[in-house]
Each structure stands twice: as structure tokens, then as C-alpha cells.
Amino acid sequence: MTPTLELTLDLLTRRSVTPEDSGCQGLLAERLQKLGFRIEPMRFGEVDNLWARLGTEGPLLCFAGHTDVVPTGPLEKWGSDPFVPAIRDGMLYARGAADMKTSLAAFITAIEGFLAEYPQPKGSIALLITSDEEGIATEGTVKVVETLKGRKEWLDYCIVGEPTSTARLGDTLKNGRRGSLSGALTVKGVQGHIAYPHLAKNPIHLAAPAIAELANTAWDAGNEYFPPTTWQISNIHGGTGASNVIPGEVKIDFNFRFSTASTVEDLKEQVHAILDRHGLNYNLAWSLSGKPFLTPKGPLVEALSRAIKSVTGADTELSTSGGTSDGRFIADICPQVVEIGPVNATIHKIDECVAVADIEPLSAIYRHTLINLLT
């Protein structure tokens, strides 16, 4: 039983299905308070958040993560109770094992080990923990960031403990993420009897050429770190349910996953230009859930890469693939945000698990990064 494994097990027994925290943050705060951290709980709505900081001088290195987990799915399909951690064949099974309670435990033990060796670091250490990452993410990290921004408390470096590794621990760092921009499009026509199409206007037929153009548009070419921006329809609905009625409108939900090669304004303008060019009568409501962020090669990427090399002996690769994370909010107050955590092959799945052999090395990676940046 290693220190990081012991704390991981304690966190995994807590049924913190989003947006519940179930005492996880209190457990972390207790350990941090013993190290001299100033503990600042921040509750917004029904969501618990934790901001903890040690030191007042720069640079400020923040560890960020979430205590909430996704629902378990059918319990009968799990090999064991998802909230009773079980070790089988070298793997630790539980909901949240990979995403991301192992990382939270590794944060704590890394900081404890670092401060035992370097009690007066050249800078400050902080933790930003939420219980609203797996949910709608409106009362969690985004609100903490707004609070910190309001009092001009800026971060220099941030390490997010999301599970980024693919085949082995540390093989991939996420140094950015694509943005997510959604649209709810309603194209209007004229409802009528399907036998008298000249007396109606079928909005599906009217929208089809515009949809084809949207689907075939090259929005940008991407860049060194990002693939080209993509546009995808997620849902389309038209009709009354009857087979002999031309619908009066069609509703189309779509989403952009976009890089730093495009802006929100440019994407919106291009979509409206296409719809207008096809002469459609439409309404379009936009929703931005996150802008893209990017941390080029620099102090944080280099510190983490050296830490991974020293712990695992392997070189790491930079990636911006995957969905959104809370890094999109933190980037608003921090110029360097990088994600690094366990292997992500089982996240959100039945029998989510993490290799026991990876748990202590993950803590060591975080500790070596502290050494590289704050000594």
C-alpha cells in the first residue's frame, strides 16, 4: 500500500456522481491544510469547489481537477461494485479510477513529497478542484476562474490531471484543446398536404443544398498543433409524424470543433453567409461552450517532458485531440495550461480502471515537475 494508492482508494469509495462531491474536497483540504495551504471553499449553486494556495510569490503553479464522476451505468455489468475499489490482475477498478481521482491523489502526495524536500519553494503552489466538470460545467471551474480574475489572481502554470495517456503512462501531453461552438438552426417552410407540393414549401428540401455546402466547406487548414476545424450535424428533426404532411419547419443541431486557426466570429459569419446565399428563412441560436486554447513548447511543456523522461524513461508527444476540458476556462487566467494523467482507455466505461503500477509514478511526475519549475 503506497501513499498515493491509499489516498486514491479513499477517494474512490466516495460516491461523487456529478455534481456531488461527497466529501472528497474536504479530504483533500485536510491534507493541504497540514502543509500550510490557505483553504478557500467556493460553493456556487449546488456545486462545491476548492481553491487552496500556499505562498504569495510568483511563479504560481496550479494543479486542477475534478472530484465528480459520471454515472456508473448498469451495475450488473461491472465486475465489482464501482464504488468499492477492487484490484484484480494489477488493475484498480472503480468509477473515477482513471478520470480522475488517481490524479487528485497524486497531486497531494506529489506536493507532500516536494515540500518535505524543498520546504521553501521559489514560488507558490495552488489547487483548483471542482465537482462540476462531468456535468454542465456552469458552476464549477468557470466560476472559480471568474472569482480569481476579479481579484487579479493570475496563474503562471497549470497542470490539469485529465487522463491523457494512450498506451502507457506519460506518452501523451495535451497542450491544448479545440473549442466547441454549437448551433440550433430552424429552417422555415410552409406546411401542406404532400399530394399538393405546389401549395407548400418543404423546408427539408430548401435546407438540403445549404447543408451539403456546410458539410463540404473547408473552414480552415488547422496549424502545427491542431487538425482542421470540423462541422457536424448532431440532430435533425422535421415532420408531424404523418406520412402525408409536408412539414412547416426543420430543426438542425450542429457543432463546430474548432482550432486556434479560426475565430468564433469568423465561423458564425461563414455559416450565416451560406444560409443567406441559399435564400433560407431561418432562425439560428448559437451556444459557445469553450474557446480553443494552446500552450506552445515552453517552460511548462519542457518541465513536464523532462519529468516524464526521468520517471518513465520515455519521450512524450504533444496532442490537442479529444473533447473539451476545464482547461478551456483556466486558460483565461493562465498562459500555460497542460493536461497529463493516467491511461484513458477505460474512462466513462463499465469497469473503468487504472494500472496500480502507474499510480506512484504519476505522483513522481508531478513532483519532478514541481522541482523543475519551483527550485
The amino acid at 213: E
Instruction: Give the count of beta carbons closer than 10 Å to the beta carbon of residue 88.
Output: 12
Using left for φ > 0, alpha for ψ between -120 and 50, and beta otherwise, residue 170 falls in: left
Closest C-alpha among 314, 322, 329, 320 to residue 365: 314
Helix, strand, coil shares, percent, the chain, to 5:
35, 25, 40
- Alpha-carbon gap, residue 79 to 93, rounded angstroms: 8
Cell, residue 340: 497529463
Closest by Cα among 326, 307, 305 to 317: 305
Task: For residue 151, count CB atoms less than 10 angstroms from its CB and return exposed for 0-12, middle for 13-18, buried for 19 or more.
Answer: exposed
Residues 6 or more apart in contact with residue 331 via CB below 8 angstroms: 291, 293, 337
The grid coordinates of residue 373 equal 519549475
Q: How far is CA 61 from the centre of its chain?
A: 19
Distance CA 8, CA 133 (A): 19
For residues 165 and 303, what is the distance between their CA atoms, to the nearest angstrom?
17
Write out the catalytic residue numbers: 68, 133
Cβ(339)–Cβ(160) below 8 Å: yes
Q: How far is CA 264 from the centre of its chain?
A: 19
- Calpha distance 250→187 (Å, rounded): 5
